[in-house]
Amino acid sequence: MTAQVKVLPSGHTFQVDDHETILEAALRHGIGLPYGCRDGACGACKGKVLEGEVCQDGYQEKALPEQERVQGYALFCCAKPQGDLTIEVREVTGLGDIPVKTLPCRVEKIEKLHDVAVLKLKLPVSERLQFHAGQYIDILMKDGKKRSFSIANAPHDDAFLELHIRHQPGGSFSEYVFTQMKEREIMRFKGPLGTFFLREDSDKPIVFVASGTGFAPIKGIVEHALHSGITRPMVFYWGARTKADLYMADLAEQWQASNANFTYIPVLSEALPEDNWTGRTGFVHKAVLDDFDDLSGYQVYACGAPVMVEAAHRSFTRERGLSEDEFFSDAFFLSKDTSTSK
């Protein structure tokens, strides 16, 4: 039995099969619902059920608090319709134009920068992956599990897919990358995935906020913007514990030196004496609060640790007037065996 879902305000409709979640069916039909983790953890796919009922389980309460559930909100990555539905959610334009593929790839190069492995993956000669800068792929492991990692290169620079993988002690995949993975190894992946990418139909200035390897998708987006000649003012705040954790600081400094519309602001929370740090300190989202009294005319792209993304969203929208519709995020969750997911 299938159910029909109507999406407001767009008016788009699509059919959901018995085995599908609302998000799965929407993506199958080319309807661009927002999403991130697809695992009930980030809340990016949240929307309101206006008519009908859904069944949903397996999500984290912080992504859908009880109060919001009672008000009719649902996580469409977990929700299955119990009949026809009318839902309200902001769609992502252009998402359905790019097909999701499952492809093999070869590990062309492994470069270790502090505790981050930068992988360069080569696709078969006959294949090319279209993607929006900032999206991610799922590495498909032999045991059936998957690991999600952001694409760190821009679409115009697609000779390789670049991934940034932080070493997580005890994490099965990151331990493998750091101790056993060899160049020329063959892997499989699925992608592109996610709705974290630059909205190019806007002329608003941009604030980028990243923590740790949240730098990866920001790197792809910034390189795409600069290559495309986008002249919107851009300020990039990169938060890390120590100076060594800013593992590609030289690149961010080059962006600033070469582009009058780009500003780079590194922020350390636990600077070491040997860092001789004279720059900004504390939490990265608080640095933004210190610099901006009003974000109502801006777009914000935040990526990294969930606690940072959540704090940025809360403080920017409640304290600085940022529109909910202009906050775009991708939170990096840990899988159950502590390997990083994105």
Per-residue pLDDT for the chain (342 aa), expressed as one digit of tens each?
A: 799 999 999 999 999 998 899 999 998 887 888 887 788 888 889 999 999 999 998 898 888 999 999 999 999 999 999 999 999 998 887 666 688 899 999 999 999 999 999 999 999 988 889 899 999 999 999 888 899 999 999 999 989 999 999 998 888 899 999 999 999 999 999 999 999 999 999 999 999 999 999 999 999 999 999 999 999 999 999 999 999 999 999 999 999 999 999 999 999 999 999 999 999 999 999 999 999 999 999 999 999 999 999 999 999 999 999 999 999 999 876 554 434 455
Q: Could you say which DSSP state residue 232 is in?
A: S
Residue type, 60: Q
Say how far apart CA 249 and CA 239 lie, in whole Å: 11
3-state helix, strand, coil in the chain (%, to 5): 25, 30, 45
Answer left, alpha or beta for residue 19, where phi above 0 means left and psi between -120 and 50 means alpha. Answer: alpha
pLDDT of residue 276: 97
Q: What is the gyration radius of the CA atoms in the chain, in angstroms?
A: 20
pLDDT of residue 154: 96
206-341 to CATH, choices 3.40.50.10170, 3.40.50.80, 3.40.50.300, 3.30.1360.10: 3.40.50.80
Q: pTM of the entire structure?
A: 0.85
Residues 6+ apart with CB under 8 A from 157: 223, 227
Say how far apart CA 218 and CA 225 lie, in whole Å: 10
Inter-residue contact 54 to 72 (CB < 8 Å): no
Q: Could you say which DSSP state residue 335 is in?
A: P
- Class (C level, CATH) for 3-88: alpha beta
Say how far apart CA 242 and CA 272 lie, in whole Å: 6
CA count, 13 A, side-chain hemisphere, 103:
19
Could you check whether 3-88 and 206-341 share the same CATH topology?
A: no
Kindly state the helix (H) or strand (E) to which residue 147 belongs, with its residue range: strand 146-150
Could you give phi then psi for residue 87, rounded to 5 degrees? -120, 160
Say how far apart CA 303 and CA 328 lie, in whole Å: 9
Handedness of CA 98, 104, 110, 115 (dihedral sign): positive
Buried b (16+ CB within 10 A) or exposed e, 48-86: ebeebebebeebbeebbeeebeeeebbbbbbbbbeebbe
Domain regions of the chain by residue span: 3-88, 99-193, 206-341
Inter-residue contact 316 to 310 (CB < 8 Å): no
Here the tokens at position 57 are 């389980």
CB atoms inside a 10 Å sphere around CB 134: 27
Assigned CATH for 99-193 = 2.40.30.10
